[in-house]
């Protein structure tokens, strides 16, 4: 290979342009020659762990479910998030939920809570954390746990609650709320106490 240049500086630049790429290729080849071997089997446990984490963290944003109970009650459930339970895919863990039970004549009961578990196989829901029930305009209940049978349109609070009705404050060991054909029916059981104060609804 022969180059002809007018001065030595131009010759040096030309030689550097030729030699530097060759040197770079040589350095790259040493990376492959001296790099350590990778044991693929050592990475598998981490891969399995990552897949399990991804499955566990899968969730639906702002889910919305609707259905009709056997007595004709329309049921609508919405939430901030829903994710399948890792142990049982039929159960959805839901957070910041809102449930509306509506009778055929448009009377409604509203339920809000911090979290719950919706079982699609049994069509039931266990609701907890700051549960509020409102059967407008004359009935409010707060409790820590509520069981709902979505197939029958029934909600039950067992273990105590506090409520406000058209007649005043009420407490009891159990409360069962069911939408009827044209209204709602509320039944109180076990140690029922009513403090008469009709002005509470004003």
pLDDT score, position 5:
43
Could you list the mean pLDDT of each consecutive 10-residue stretch along the chain, which spans 202 residues?
48 58 60 49 48 61 88 89 86 92 85 92 91 81 89 84 81 84 77 76 50
C-alpha dist (Å) from residue 139 to 44, 97, 129: 57, 20, 20
Domains and CATH numbers, the chain: 61-201 (2.60.450.10)
**173-178: long-range contacts, CB 8 A cutoff, minimum separation 24:** 175/141, 175/143, 177/109, 177/133, 177/135, 178/71, 178/152, 178/153, 178/154
pLDDT score, position 31:
52
C-alpha dist (Å) from residue 61 to 9, 58, 147: 67, 10, 23
Q: How far apart are CA 20 and CA 188, in angstroms?
A: 89
C-alpha dist (Å) from residue 113 to 7, 66, 86, 143, 159: 86, 18, 22, 10, 17
Residues in a beta bridge with 165: none
pLDDT score, position 46:
44
pLDDT score, position 26:
62
């Amino acid at each position: 290979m022969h180059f002809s240049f007018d001065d030595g500086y131009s010759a040096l630049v030309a030689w550097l342009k030729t030699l530097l790429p060759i040197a770079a290729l040589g350095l790259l080849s040493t990376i492959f020659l001296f790099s350590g071997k990778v044991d693929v089997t050592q990475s598998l446990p981490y891969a399995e762990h990552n897949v399990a984490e991804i499955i566990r963290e899968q969730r639906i944003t702002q889910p919305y479910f609707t259905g009709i109970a056997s007595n004709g009650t329309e049921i609508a459930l919405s939430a901030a998030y829903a994710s399948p339970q890792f142990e049982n895919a039929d159960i959805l863990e839901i957070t910041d939920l809102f449930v509306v039970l509506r009778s055929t004549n448009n009377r409604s009961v509203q339920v809000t809570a911090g979290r719950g578990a919706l079982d699609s196989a049994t069509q039931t829901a266990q609701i907890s954390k700051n549960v509020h029930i409102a059967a407008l305009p004359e009935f409010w209940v707060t409790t820590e746990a509520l069981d709902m049978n979505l197939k029958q349109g029934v909600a039950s609070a067992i273990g105590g609650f506090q409520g406000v009705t058209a007649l005043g404050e009420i407490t009891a060991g159990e409360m069962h709320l069911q939408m009827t054909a044209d209204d709602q029916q509320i039944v109180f059981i076990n140690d029922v106490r009513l403090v008469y104060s009709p002005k509470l609804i004003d």
